[in-house]
């Protein structure tokens, strides 16, 4: 059974953290097709968070087609997630380094680069969900 | 329907106004945190909501009814500050008390909850620890199967473990029944993870009311050169400003994206925002920003 | 809700029962002893014989049982003790201890909560009060028959139905005071003072006026009490009046100084016991003076036959007061915060 953790200062919306943790578990095979996700009651009973947060996360996962909620029974995994192919990682790394160098050349310092990346990343993640 | 609704609510003790012109709407199913320093008027507000106090002016409606009315008392759960219990009663007798005072009291629920928390039913209520008392109070209130639950500083005298256990129990209760919750506190950290609504009260007036996620989204910390302080596109309100000889740090409320490159935009924590509003120089009630998605009808 | 009221006050009621039981354990053996001696000494038969002089037997009985006089103030205290310990803490303790925040946010309205608690508390006080009233009435019967007037202030309060009304009033008074003084100990103290004030006020100033008192005038010179006003009646006051009806002195018989100033013959004879019996053959200067001045004894009294009327009137007054206090208490409790 998967257990969740909430990082209150991470700046990432709580429900997104849950979505991410489920996806992470799917990718690594800790959750497989047919497994039942913990009930809302179980989740909030172990980490004291707002039940709506859990509901929102499960709804989002259902919207993405990863899980299915069966009324009166629970929420079950529909399909797994494959990680990206290994070559993708290397290519992404290279293009990221290039971007960082471009930003430094433009005059930003490392802290500004990080802040820019952070805020853009967050915007993008939330936009995708919206 | 709104679980709780107030308009022009004011309460005076002698010359001192404990609450002044308070107005808010709390949708059903919310978990609201009522935050403010000691003496802000949190207990006064809660006592009015459960019919222990009469307002001096204005009105408050709970579940659409007048507070303390016979038809609404059984639907409201309340635990007062420091969880008053009858010290000479055993825990099992407190449960009987609940059953005799409330039609529809779920004795089995109360008993199983007490058992799960390993609180001995034969122990006198007066000799329970702070955490145990709070849990007994919560169990009694939840066993009423209320539609709204009001808790006055339930975490105040609890150690961190007891606080966590209390919130776990509370959240399970909400997951079970969808009960609306208002809990007051002067500590923010516990409320952050649990509340989806914030009501910030200081010196009898509301400073900030709204959905927690909205609050975080619409407030930012901007860091930039002191000279650039002025009208910034995307900023509707500067709540807090601190400057050195070169640099200014602003906590702002936004109404659009901040694209001005001179400003570094940082995420803000709920605590930062709340503190900024509590500290706000502005004392006019009109300055209270309401961040509900629904437009407020002018009162 | 009845269970709640019972459970909350169960210790109190236990102590009340213990106190009443203790009193019973004292009263029954002593009462039996007194009653036995009353008969065996012949006093009972004497008093039931018309015209008999039971003075000596009565004295003997009185001196043997005069020690029980201390009990009278104790029994007079019983109603106010109920008021102080059953009544005053009822609401004051909930306010004091903050538990009103628990009690008044359950599913029971405040008026219903209050009336249930009142019913339980007054009900149990009533049981104790009735038991005591019956016991004391039975116990004191020989004393009464021997001449202590049951109509007298002090004795009147312990017999019949008024102790029950006092108890109900005292408890209601305590509860009402508890809603005004929201702290237990001060409420208890004020209840004592307030109750005493009301009781003393009514007893000393109001009671004699329930019905217009009878007035009787008679000769100052006679051996025993006349048929008009006797030991069983309630003598409110006794004065000596002159021929014109003016009051000359209080109590039975005039001052020597008053007489001496008006009767030279008496002044010469010197002070004397007021009720000197005439010595045959010798002129009684006292009697002569009294006759000459036309002095008479005037008694204002309530006849013994009115005892029960007065009991019910006073009962009614205290019950009415209790009802008024109950209405006030319910009103006040609804608005308490």
Q: What is the mean pLDDT of chain C?
A: 84
The encoded tokens of residue B127 equal 């000799």
In this prediction, residues B61-83 reach a mean pLDDT of: 92
pLDDT value of position C269: 63
Among the listed ranges B213-217, C11-15, C107-111, C267-271, which one has the minimum average pLDDT value?
C267-271
Question: How far is C316 from C323, CA to CA, in rounded Å?
Answer: 10
Integer CA distances (angstroms), B270 to A9, A57, B250, B278, in order = 9, 21, 15, 12
Question: How far is B12 from B9, CA to CA, in rounded Å?
Answer: 10
Tell me how close the Cα of B195 comes to any Cα of chain A, in angstroms: 6
Q: CB neighbours (10 Å) of residue C74?
A: 10
Tell me how close the Cα of B93 comes to any Cα of chain C, in angstroms: 9
Strands B235-243 and B219-225: unpaired
Question: How far is A66 from A58, CA to CA, in rounded Å?
Answer: 9
Nearest residue of chain A to residue B29 (CA atoms): A52
- Residues of A in Cβ contact (< 8 Å) with B176: 41
B185 membership: H or E segment, kind and range = strand B180-185
- In this structure, what DSSP letter does residue B65 have? B
Query: Is it the case that residue B122 has pLDDT exceeding 70?
Result: yes
The torsion angles phi and psi of B58, rounded to 5 degrees, stand at: 75, -170
Q: Do chains B and A meet with 3 or more Cβ pairs nearer than 8 Å?
A: yes
Largest distance between two CA atoms of chain A: 58
The torsion angles phi and psi of B218, rounded to 5 degrees, stand at: -100, 10
The encoded tokens of residue C257 equal 């100084």
pLDDT value of position C221: 67
Highest mean pLDDT among B25-29, B290-294, C74-78: B25-29
In this prediction, residues B83-112 reach a mean pLDDT of: 94
Q: Do B195 and A14 touch (CB under 8 A)?
A: no
C-beta of residue C165 within 8 angstroms of C-beta of residue C319: yes
> Which of B5, B294, B77, B31 has the alpha carbon at shortest distance from B178?
B31
In this prediction, residues A92-116 reach a mean pLDDT of: 89
Instruction: Tell me the three-class secondary structure of B189-257, residue by residue.
Output: HHHHCCCCEEEEEECCEEEEEEEHHHHHHCEEEEEEEHHHCCCCCCEEEEEEEEECCCEEEEEEEECCC
Among the listed ranges A15-19, C205-209, C280-284, which one has the minimum average pLDDT value?
C280-284
Nearest residue of chain A to residue B197 (CA atoms): A50
Query: Is it the case that residue A73 has pLDDT exceeding 90?
Result: no
pLDDT band of residue C324 (cuts 50, 70, 90) is very high
- Residues of B in Cβ contact (< 8 Å) with C101: 47, 52, 78, 80, 84
Q: Please, which chains are in contact with A (at least 3 CB pairs closer than 8 A)?
A: B
Q: Do B102 and C7 touch (CB under 8 A)?
A: no
Q: Does B102 touch chain C (CB under 8 A)?
A: yes
pLDDT value of position C68: 76
- Residues of A in Cβ contact (< 8 Å) with B269: 9
Q: Do C107 and B144 touch (CB under 8 A)?
A: yes
C-beta of residue B138 within 8 angstroms of C-beta of residue B154: yes
Q: Which of B162, B178, B211, B267 to mutate to test the interface with A (most CBs of A within 10 A)?
A: B267
Tell me how close the Cα of B211 comes to any Cα of chain C, in angstroms: 28
Q: Do chains A and C meet with 3 or more Cβ pairs nearer than 8 Å?
A: no
Query: Is it the case that residue B292 has pLDDT exceeding 70?
Result: no
Among the listed ranges B82-96, C127-141, C245-259, C316-330, which one has the minimum average pLDDT value?
C245-259
- Residues of B in Cβ contact (< 8 Å) with C116: none
Query: Is it the case that residue C232 has pLDDT exceeding 80?
Result: no
Q: Do B73 and C107 touch (CB under 8 A)?
A: yes
Q: Do C337 and B54 touch (CB under 8 A)?
A: yes
The torsion angles phi and psi of A31, rounded to 5 degrees, stand at: -120, 130
Query: Is it the case that residue C71 has pLDDT exceeding 90?
Result: no
Q: What is the mean pLDDT of chain B?
A: 87
List of residues 6+ apart from B181 with CB closer than 8 A: B30, B31, B32, B148, B149, B150, B151, B170, B174
Helical spans, DSSP H, in chain C:
2-40, 43-48, 55-65, 71-82, 89-96, 100-103, 110-139, 141-145, 162-180, 184-201, 256-262, 264-269, 285-293, 307-335
List of residues 6+ apart from C246 with CB closer than 8 A: none
pLDDT value of position B187: 80
Question: How far is C331 from C333, CA to CA, in rounded Å?
Answer: 6
* Token pair 């009781």 in the structure block, residue: C199
Question: Residues B47, B49, B51, CA angle at the centre, nearest 5°?
Answer: 70
Question: How far is B172 from A129, CA to CA, in rounded Å?
Answer: 27
Q: Do B96 and C3 touch (CB under 8 A)?
A: yes
Integer CA distances (angstroms), A32 to A15, A37, A72, A77, C217, in order = 21, 10, 21, 7, 116
* Token pair 């200014």 in the structure block, residue: B248
In this prediction, residues B29-33 reach a mean pLDDT of: 93
Which is higher by pLDDT, A28 or B92?
A: B92
Q: Does B97 touch chain C (CB under 8 A)?
A: yes
Per-residue pLDDT reduced to its tens digit, B163-193: 889 999 999 999 989 999 999 988 888 788 8
pLDDT band of residue C177 (cuts 50, 70, 90) is very high
Question: How far is C110 from A102, CA to CA, in rounded Å?
Answer: 74
Query: Is it the case that residue C167 has pLDDT exceeding 60?
Result: yes
Q: Do B193 and A14 touch (CB under 8 A)?
A: yes
Tell me how close the Cα of B233 comes to any Cα of chain C, in angstroms: 51
Alpha-carbon dihedral angle through residues C26, C29, C30, C32, given to the nearest 10 degrees: 150
pLDDT value of position C56: 76
pLDDT band of residue B284 (cuts 50, 70, 90) is very low
Q: Does B65 touch chain C (CB under 8 A)?
A: no
Among the listed ranges A57-66, B261-270, C95-104, C273-282, which one has the minimum average pLDDT value?
C273-282
- In this structure, what DSSP letter does residue C228 have? S
Query: Is it the case that residue C51 has pLDDT exceeding 70?
Result: no
Among the listed ranges B46-55, B131-140, B167-176, C274-283, which one has the minimum average pLDDT value?
C274-283
How many contacts, defined by CB atoms under 8 Å, are there between B and C?
Answer: 65
C-beta of residue B259 within 8 angstroms of C-beta of residue B234: yes
Q: Which of C7, C12, C107, C337 to mutate to test the interface with B (most CBs of B within 10 A)?
A: C107
Q: Do B175 and A122 touch (CB under 8 A)?
A: no
pLDDT band of residue C194 (cuts 50, 70, 90) is very high
Strand, helix or coil at C193? helix
How many contacts, defined by CB atoms under 8 Å, are there between A and B?
Answer: 59
pLDDT value of position B179: 94
Q: Do A48 and B170 touch (CB under 8 A)?
A: yes
The encoded tokens of residue C314 equal 């006073």
Integer CA distances (angstroms), B61 to C153, C246, C332, in order = 58, 75, 23
Which is higher by pLDDT, A43 or C225?
A: A43
Q: Which pTM does this prediction carry?
A: 0.82
Query: Is it the case that residue C222 has pLDDT exceeding 50?
Result: yes
Query: Is it the case that residue B295 has pLDDT exceeding 60?
Result: no
Which is higher by pLDDT, B280 or A50?
A: A50
Q: Do A48 and B164 touch (CB under 8 A)?
A: yes
pLDDT value of position C257: 74
Per-residue pLDDT reduced to its tens digit, A40-52: 999 999 998 999 9
Nearest residue of chain B to residue A126 (CA atoms): B217
- Residues of A in Cβ contact (< 8 Å) with B195: 50
B206 DSSP β-pair partners: B201
Tell me how close the Cα of B194 comes to any Cα of chain A, in angstroms: 5
pLDDT band of residue B263 (cuts 50, 70, 90) is confident
Q: Using CB atoms, pick whichever of B171, B189, B192 lies closest to residue A44.
A: B171
Highest mean pLDDT among A60-64, B90-94, B265-269, C132-136: B90-94
Helical spans, DSSP H, in chain A:
14-27, 40-46, 51-63, 86-105, 110-129
Q: Which of B193, B215, B220 to mutate to test the interface with A (most CBs of A within 10 A)?
A: B193
Per-residue pLDDT reduced to its tens digit, A53-70: 999 999 999 998 889 988
pLDDT band of residue B287 (cuts 50, 70, 90) is very low
Q: Do B47 and C337 touch (CB under 8 A)?
A: yes
> Which of B87, B168, B181, B84 has the alpha carbon at shortest distance from B134?
B84
Among the listed ranges B234-248, C52-66, C193-207, which one has the minimum average pLDDT value?
C52-66
Query: Is it the case that residue C318 has pLDDT exceeding 70?
Result: yes
Q: Does B164 touch chain A (CB under 8 A)?
A: yes
DSSP conformation letters of B99-166: HHHSTT--HHHHHHHHHHTT--TTSBGGGS-HHHHHHHHHHHHHHT--SEEEESSTTTT--HHHHHHH
What length does chain A have? 130
Q: Does B266 touch chain A (CB under 8 A)?
A: yes
Per-residue pLDDT reduced to its tens digit, B13-25: 989 999 999 999 9
Rg, Å, chain C Cα set: 26
Q: CB neighbours (10 Å) of residue B116?
A: 11
Q: Do C104 and B51 touch (CB under 8 A)?
A: yes
C-beta of residue C221 within 8 angstroms of C-beta of residue C253: no
Query: Is it the case that residue C104 has pLDDT exceeding 90?
Result: yes
- Residues of B in Cβ contact (< 8 Å) with A53: 196
List of residues 6+ apart from B125 with CB closer than 8 A: B85, B86, B87, B88, B89, B90, B91, B94, B133, B136
Q: Using CB atoms, pick whichever of B68, B101, B144 lies closest to residue C1.
A: B101
Q: Please, which chains are in contact with C (at least 3 CB pairs closer than 8 A)?
A: B
Q: Please, which chains are in contact with B (at least 3 CB pairs closer than 8 A)?
A: A, C
Q: Do A44 and B266 touch (CB under 8 A)?
A: no
Q: Do A115 and B31 touch (CB under 8 A)?
A: no
pLDDT value of position B296: 33
Chain B stretch 128-157, residues whose beta carbon is closer than 8 A to a beta carbon of chain C: 144
């Amino acid at each position: 059974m998967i257990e969740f953790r909430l990082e209150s200062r991470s700046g990432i919306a709580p429900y997104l953290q849950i979505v991410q943790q489920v996806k992470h578990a799917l990718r690594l095979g800790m959750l497989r097709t047919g497994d039942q996700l913990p009930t809302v009651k179980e989740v909030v009973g172990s980490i004291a968070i707002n039940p709506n947060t859990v509901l929102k996360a499960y709804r989002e996962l259902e919207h993405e087609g990863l899980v299915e909620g069966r009324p009166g029974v629970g929420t079950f995994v529909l399909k797994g997630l494959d990680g990206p192919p290994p070559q993708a990682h290397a290519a992404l790394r290279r293009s990221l380094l290039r971007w960082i160098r471009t930003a430094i050349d433009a005059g930003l310092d490392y802290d500004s680069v990080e802040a820019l990346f952070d805020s853009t990343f967050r915007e993008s993640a939330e936009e995708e969900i919206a | 329907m709104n679980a709780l609704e107030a308009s022009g609510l004011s309460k005076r003790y002698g010359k001192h106004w404990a609450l002044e012109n308070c107005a808010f709407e709390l949708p059903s199913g919310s978990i609201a945190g009522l935050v403010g320093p000691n003496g802000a008027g949190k207990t006064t507000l809660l006592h009015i909501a459960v019919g222990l106090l009469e307002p001096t002016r204005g009105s408050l409606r709970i579940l659409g009814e007048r507070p303390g009315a016979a038809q609404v008392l059984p639907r409201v759960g309340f635990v007062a500050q420091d969880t008053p219990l009858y010290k000479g009663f055993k825990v099992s007798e407190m449960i009987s008390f609940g059953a005799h005072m409330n039609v529809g009291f779920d004795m089995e629920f109360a008993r199983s909850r007490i058992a799960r928390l390993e609180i001995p039913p034969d122990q006198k209520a007066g000799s329970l620890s702070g955490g145990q008392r709070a849990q007994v109070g919560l169990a009694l209130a939840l066993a009423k199967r209320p539609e709204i639950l009001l808790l006055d500083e339930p975490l105040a005298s609890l150690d961190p473990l007891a606080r966590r256990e209390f919130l776990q129990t509370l959240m399970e209760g909400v997951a079970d029944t969808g009960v609306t919750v208002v809990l007051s506190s002067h500590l923010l950290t516990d409320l952050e993870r649990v509340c989806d609504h914030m009501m910030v009260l200081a010196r009898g007036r509301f400073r900030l009311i709204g959905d927690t996620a909205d609050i975080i989204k619409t407030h930012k910390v901007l860091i930039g050169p002191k000279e650039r302080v002025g009208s910034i596109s995307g900023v509707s309100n500067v709540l807090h400003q601190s400057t050195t000889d070169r640099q200014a740090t602003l906590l702002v409320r936004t109404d659009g994206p901040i694209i001005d490159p001179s400003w570094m935009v940082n995420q803000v924590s709920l605590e930062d925002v709340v503190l900024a509003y509590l500290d706000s120089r502005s004392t006019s009630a009109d300055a209270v920003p309401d961040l509900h998605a629904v437009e407020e009808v002018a009162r | 809700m009845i269970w709640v009221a019972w459970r909350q006050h169960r210790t109190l009621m236990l102590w009340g029962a213990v106190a009443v039981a203790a009193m019973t354990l004292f009263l029954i053996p002593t009462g039996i002893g007194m009653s036995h001696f009353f008969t065996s000494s012949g006093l009972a038969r004497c008093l039931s014989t018309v015209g008999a002089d039971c003075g000596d037997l009565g004295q003997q009985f009185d001196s043997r049982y005069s020690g029980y006089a201390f009990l009278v103030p104790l029994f007079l205290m019983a109603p106010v003790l109920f008021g102080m310990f059953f009544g005053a803490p009822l609401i004051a303790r909930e306010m004091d201890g903050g538990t009103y925040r628990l009690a008044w946010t359950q599913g029971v309205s405040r008026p219903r909560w209050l009336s249930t608690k009142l019913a339980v508390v007054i009900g149990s006080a009533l049981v104790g009060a009735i038991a005591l009233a019956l016991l004391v009435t039975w116990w004191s019967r020989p004393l009464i028959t021997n001449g202590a007037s049951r109509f007298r202030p002090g004795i009147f309060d312990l017999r019949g139905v008024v102790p029950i009304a006092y108890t109900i009033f005292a408890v209601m008074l305590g509860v009402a005071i508890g809603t005004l003084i929201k702290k237990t100990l001060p409420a208890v103290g004020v209840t004592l003072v307030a109750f005493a004030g009301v009781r003393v006020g009514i007893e000393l100033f109001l009671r004699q006026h329930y019905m217009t008192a009878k007035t009787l005038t008679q000769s100052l010179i006679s051996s025993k009490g006349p048929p008009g006003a006797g030991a069983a009646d309630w003598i409110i006051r006794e004065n000596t009046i002159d021929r014109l009806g003016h009051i000359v002195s209080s109590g039975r018989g005039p001052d020597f100084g008053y007489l001496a100033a008006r009767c030279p013959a008496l002044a010469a004879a010197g002070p004397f016991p007021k009720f000197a019996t005439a010595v045959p053959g010798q002129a009684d200067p006292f009697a002569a003076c009294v006759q000459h001045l036309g002095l008479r004894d005037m008694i204002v009294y309530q006849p013994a036959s009115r005892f029960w009327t007065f009991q019910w009137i006073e009962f009614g007054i205290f019950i009415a007061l209790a009802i008024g206090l109950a209405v006030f208490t319910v009103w006040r409790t609804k608005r308490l915060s």
